[in-house]
């Protein structure tokens, strides 16, 4: 690019929904990134659990380029081969009978919540519309999903909001069983709460939710936007838990960096959406579906095993750092979705620590003011992990001094 762009241009021309880092990345390969100045970073964030196979993955580039020469978009008056392949693959490898394809996690959840309401209406009549969700959960930024999410600060200013949504404490089965009734329509839950601080659900909690949903004819929705597509060491986290939802939403890692979302469900729910009842212009376009197909083809048993090995490696390394610096209170998560809650003495310093880490050349995330979050590419080389944690240690030292 001949013209030079700077971080200042962000403040000048972009609506300030975000507060991006002072540097601007321009290139990535695998789990490394370079900025405008040529500075190198190890990427332990993976674009917030999106770049599941790293940056500039050779196979993804080839698949995308091949499809780019054939067909980009055709519209909903026609179907296309890549999306049919995607549907077949997801159906064959999960609990689902059918899928709906969209462009993001919020859209997948929006579709899921709408489907649950319509399913309840058609099967049980009016007066069964209550959505049960959990405190601190995150489901996206559309008005419906942000209201269902458990962080009121994200929805308060946008009223009037959709109604009949109840928030209960996460991992508290008793609270749900005390509250749920025949008027409840759906429960939506993240098997591992991501944005809210990386809290895995207890097994008994998900099993209990399944039983309560069966008992009260309530649709169980698993939001696997962050936990899906190999992130936990299984294709989807529900497979780790052995508890099947009625609807599952997927996005983030599904496109490996290309925008795509999907809602997976069983036949009884699928038939509630008929032509005209729900839709999307871009959803299921051949470009996005081609990339997702290629991502899924690379999520092999070997790759999933590698996710678990990397988890073990990271936990061990964190424990070594803990012995030296006593900086953490708890390590949570599964596979390559790892949260590190900082010790009381380091309270509210997560953001400061990742800023220092970026200065040292390693990118990580936070999940709330006290939690560091690591969501690297599922295939991050061990040598990059090694170097990344050396740089992270330098940041810890600086914060400590
Ligand atoms: C990121 C995320 C979403 C929202 O996905 P978008 O693609 O940003 O709309 C929804 N649910 C969970 C659990 C997420 O982590």
Q: Looking at residue 400, what is its pLDDT?
A: 82
Question: CATH number for the domain including 390?
Answer: 3.90.1150.10
| CA 322 – ligand 1 centroid, Å | 31
Edge-first strand order for the sheet with 365-366 is: 328-334, 337-342, 371-374, 365-366
Cβ of 224 less than 6 Å from ligand 1: no
10-residue mean pLDDT series, the chain (401 residues): 89 96 97 98 98 98 98 95 98 98 98 98 97 98 98 97 98 98 98 97 98 98 98 98 98 98 98 96 97 98 98 98 96 98 94 97 96 98 98 95 78
308 and 365 belong to one structural domain: yes
Q: Looking at residue 177, what is its pLDDT?
A: 98
Q: Looking at residue 281, what is its pLDDT?
A: 96
| CA 383 – ligand 1 centroid, Å | 30
Strands (E), 157-260: 165-168, 184-189, 192-193, 199-200, 219-223, 247-250
Domain final position from 267, 298, 329: 298
Helix orientation angle between 350-360 and 382-400, rounded to the nearest 10 degrees:
120
Assess if residue 163 is contained within a domain. Answer: yes
388 and 265 belong to one structural domain: no
Domain final position from 249, 274, 298: 298
Tokens 């871009």, residue located: 282
Assess if residue 192 is contained within a domain. Answer: yes
CB 185 within 8 A of CB 128: yes
Cβ of 251 less than 6 Å from ligand 1: yes
Cβ of 110 less than 6 Å from ligand 1: no
Give dist(CA 298, CA 334) in Å, integer: 20
Strands (E), 181-308: 184-189, 192-193, 199-200, 219-223, 247-250, 261-265
Q: Looking at residue 1, what is its pLDDT?
A: 56
213 and 326 belong to one structural domain: no
149 and 194 belong to one structural domain: yes
Assess if residue 1 is contained within a domain. Answer: no
Assess if residue 2 is contained within a domain. Answer: no
Domain coverage including residue 380: 7-52+301-400
240 and 317 belong to one structural domain: no
208 and 294 belong to one structural domain: yes
Give dist(CA 376, CA 139) in Å, integer: 21
Cβ of 194 less than 6 Å from ligand 1: yes
Cβ of 199 less than 6 Å from ligand 1: no
CB 200 within 8 A of CB 225: no
Question: CATH number for the domain including 126?
Answer: 3.40.640.10
Assess if residue 133 is contained within a domain. Answer: yes
* Residue to probe by mutation, ligand 1, list 50, 51, 105, 141, most atoms within 8 Å of CB: 105
Give the chain's largest Cα–Cα span: 64
282 and 324 belong to one structural domain: no
68 and 40 belong to one structural domain: no
Number of CB atoms found within 10 A of residue 152's CB: 13
305 and 293 belong to one structural domain: no
Domain final position from 248, 267, 298: 298
150 and 106 belong to one structural domain: yes
127 and 275 belong to one structural domain: yes
173 and 269 belong to one structural domain: yes
How many domains, in total, are found in the chain?
A: 2
Assess if residue 351 is contained within a domain. Answer: yes
Whole-prediction pTM value?
0.97
141 Cα nearest atom in ligand 1: 9
Cβ of 283 less than 6 Å from ligand 1: no
Question: 117 Cβ partners below 8 Å, 6+ apart?
Answer: 129, 131, 185, 186
Q: Whole-angstrom distance between the N-terminal and C-terminal Cα of the chain?
A: 41
* Residue to probe by mutation, ligand 1, list 103, 193, 251, most atoms within 8 Å of CB: 251
Q: For residue 30, give the DSSP letter.
A: B
Question: 115 Cβ partners below 8 Å, 6+ apart?
Answer: 219, 247, 263, 265, 269, 272, 273, 278
């Amino acid at each position: 690019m001949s013209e030079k762009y700077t971080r200042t241009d962000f403040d000048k021309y972009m609506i300030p929904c975000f507060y991006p880092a002072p540097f601007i990345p321009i290139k990535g390969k695998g789990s490394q990134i370079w900025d405008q100045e040529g500075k190198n970073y190890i990427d332990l964030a993976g674009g917030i659990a999106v770049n599941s196979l790293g940056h500039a993955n050779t196979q993804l580039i080839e698949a995308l380029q091949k499809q780019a020469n054939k067909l980009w978009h055709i519209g909903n008056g026609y179907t296309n081969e890549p999306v049919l392949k995607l549907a077949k693959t997801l159906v064959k490898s999960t609990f689902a009978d059918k899928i709906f394809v969209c462009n993001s996690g919020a859209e997948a959840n929006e579709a899921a919540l709408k489907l649950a309401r319509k399913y309840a209406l058609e099967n049980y009549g009016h007066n069964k519309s209550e959505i049960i969700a959990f405190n601190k959960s995150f489901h996206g930024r559309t008005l419906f999903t942000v209201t269902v999410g458990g962080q009121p600060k994200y929805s308060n200013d946008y009223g009037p909001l959709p109604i009949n949504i109840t928030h209960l404490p996460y991992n508290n089965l008793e609270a749900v069983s005390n509250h749920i009734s025949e008027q409840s329509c759906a429960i939506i839950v993240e098997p591992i709460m991501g944005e809210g601080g990386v809290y895995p659900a207890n097994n008994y909690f998900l099993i209990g939710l399944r039983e309560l949903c069966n008992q009260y004819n309530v649709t169980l929705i698993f939001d696997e936007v962050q936990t899906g597509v190999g992130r936990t060491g299984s294709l989807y986290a529900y497979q780790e838990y052995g508890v099947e939802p009625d609807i599952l939403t997927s996005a983030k890692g599904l496109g490996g960096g290309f925008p795509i979302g999907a809602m997976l469900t069983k036949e009884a729910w699928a038939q509630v959406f008929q032509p005209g009842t729900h839709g999307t212009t871009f959803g299921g376009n051949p470009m996005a579906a081609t990339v997702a197909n290629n991502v899924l083809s690379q999520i092999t048993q070997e790759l999933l095993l590698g996710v678990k090995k990397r988890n073990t490696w990271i936990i061990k390394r964190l424990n070594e750092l803990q012995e030296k610096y006593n900086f953490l209170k708890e390590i949570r998560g599964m596979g390559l979705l790892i949260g590190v809650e900082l010790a009381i003495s380091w309270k509210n310093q997560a953001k400061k620590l990742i800023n220092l880490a970026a200065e040292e050349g390693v990118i990580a995330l936070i999940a709330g003011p006290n939690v560091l979050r690591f969501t690297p590419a599922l295939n991050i080389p061990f040598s990059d992990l090694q170097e990344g944690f050396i740089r992270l240690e330098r940041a810890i030292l600086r914060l400590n001094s």
